[in-house]
Amino acid sequence: MRVTVQRKQGNEYEASILEKFESMDDVQLELAIIEEKHGFPSVFSKQALADAKEAANLNPGKRVDLTQCVTVTIDGETAKDFDDAISVDELPNGNLNLKVSIADVSHYVRERTKLDEEAYERGTSIYFPGFAIPMLPEELSNHLCSLVPNEERLTLTCEMEINANGKIVDSKIYPSMIKSQARLTYTTVSKVIEKNENDLVKPVIAKMLHRAFALSKIVRQNRSDRGALDLDLPEMEIDVAPDGSVRKIYQAQRNEAHKLIEDFMILANEAVSENIEARGYASIYRVHEFPDELKLERLKKVIRRWGFSISEKKDLISSLQNYLDSVRGHPNEKMLITSLLRSLKQAQYSANNVGHFGLGSKSYCHFTSPIRRYPDLMVHRILRKSNFLKNPPPYSEEQLQEIATRCSETERRAFLCERDMEDMKKCRYLEPKVGQEFDGVITTIKSFGLFVEMLPEHIDGLIPIRSLSNDYWDVDELETCLSGRRSRKEFLLGDKIRVQLAEVDRLKRQINLRYISHLGEKPKSKSQKPEREGKRNKIRYL
């Protein structure tokens, strides 16, 4: 149950029950725990909901009619809101014309309304396994602003003419109206463009998709040539039942359709950012700063132990990409790429454009997801309130920096919320498996223990140092090796080991493991218990 506690006097307290939950497995309890820890709003006010409903009556204004264009949305099978659509045509000069049309959220969400105030407080939608806490009410996110097929929808379109080298030779942004011809999934599109299963869609759509696929490959190669990092790691998917229980945990597979949409969204984000910046307008940029020198030096030392290096002769981003290419297919590929990720800074929002290191982009913003991200909504407002860059700038840099800082904070909050919920679901999934053994890989070494990725679920657990044999344990300065002074036993990053699931605590989101053996070694007896913590257990935390 959820309670409030007030101190009366001395050691006496008075508690009031706010909410009761049926059991530990109650989905609302899991949400309440995360909400209590991070303090995000999960319910819209009556006024915000009323604002969302009234928005349907707003005059759409003058728009470019794109309803006759072959336009489609491409999303995951379980997606409920569709805020981006694409269309690709061939021009008489041989260039390709790409239109990226984004739901015109700024038309419906007006400033100085309760709806806008609550969207700003959220900053972003939060995505949990099986459900989401949206930034905007469903009246907008799943209806008015969702680009569902065969319905006229208001959008902002970034139209780009792209030559054979993948360069944008001309671009413009304008208010538009579209009618999506199909709600496509990544799976369907992948079958069309990779396997030529063209009968899955209408002929005119199949032709457009193949044209789009050819363009995306050129655009991607062009981005790679200029120095963008390919940090593509599989993401974990948690499949939950309606009651909140976990059916399975698996690695999501990315195909060419995922990459196609990513290519086009990046291209549109850059085109919009460059257009705004070229006219001297203040804006909110998505920035990714140059890596910290100390972290880069540590990375070089760590990867040297596996026979890899980062060239000093080339520019940094080219050297890092060469490193990524060289570790593909290595038995410890994931660990080696993760080591690089940890050496990079986090991307954030800022009114000061310092470029995007990871994308190799000089000017980049978020324009393509205003349903779920407030910075995108602000970029739309900059465009609309300036009459698409014809009138004076509508905001000052100081105003936008305040908003950018807040959006970076809410983005971080959402990330922590999503991580905690995922950890809770992983614990729930593993609870019936306590006592079972798993193969695993050592992914992190700390003075307090070893983090191990259990296979095949790819869930991380901790082997506490106190559970290891009676020894003096040392961790090297790079945290790549844990070694016992007496036993000479070593645990290295990337080692394949056998572990037993010893303990799962869902509320604390902790998974504790017991070390059994290195793979290939003779396993220890299953009846052997971990050393008990106490005076006889000579453990040194270094």
Q: What is the pLDDT along the chain (542 residues), one digit of tens a residue?
A: 555 656 566 667 676 665 565 667 787 889 999 999 999 999 999 999 999 999 999 999 999 999 999 999 999 988 878 999 999 999 999 999 999 999 999 999 999 999 999 999 999 999 999 999 999 999 999 999 999 999 999 999 999 999 998 999 999 999 999 999 999 999 999 999 999 999 999 999 999 999 999 999 999 999 988 889 988 777 889 999 998 999 999 988 899 999 999 999 999 999 999 999 999 999 999 999 999 999 999 999 999 988 999 987 678 888 999 999 999 989 888 889 999 999 999 999 999 999 999 999 999 999 999 999 999 999 999 999 999 999 999 999 999 999 999 999 999 999 999 999 999 999 999 999 999 999 999 999 999 999 999 988 899 999 999 999 888 999 999 999 999 999 999 999 999 999 999 999 999 999 999 999 999 765 554 433 333 333 323 333 33
Residue 151, H or E segment: none
For residue 521, give every residue at least 6 positions away whose Cβ sits within 8 Å of its Cβ, in sequence order, or none: none
Q: Which residue has the tokens 């809410």?
A: 410
Q: State the number of CA atoms in the 13 A half-sphere of 128 facing the CB.
A: 25
**CA–CA gap between residue 458 and residue 236 (Å, rounded):** 8
Instruction: With beta carbons less than 8 A apart as the criterion, state whether 261 and 74 touch.
Output: yes
Q: Is 72 exposed, middle or buried (0-12, 13-18, 19+ CB in 10 A)?
A: buried
Residue ranges matching CATH 2.40.50.140 in the chain: 434-518
pTM of the model: 0.90
User: Closest Cα to residue 274, out of 176, 160, 371, 378?
Assistant: 160
CB atoms within 10 A of CB 163: 15
Instruction: With beta carbons less than 8 A apart as the criterion, state whether 362 and 226 touch.
Output: no
Q: Which two tokens stand for residue 175?
A: 């208010």
Amino acid sitting at position 323:
Y
**Cα-flanking dihedrals φ and ψ of residue 117, to 5°?**
-60, -45
The long-range contacts involving 84-91, CB below 8 angstroms and separated by at least 24 positions, are 84/147, 84/261, 84/265, 84/368, 84/369, 85/147, 85/155, 85/178, 85/180, 86/212, 86/261, 86/264, 87/208, 88/208, 88/211, 88/212, 88/215, 89/208, 89/211, 90/211, 91/161
With respect to CATH, is domain 434-518 assigned 2.40.50.140? yes
Give the three-state DSSP class for 492.
strand
CB atoms within 10 A of CB 317: 18
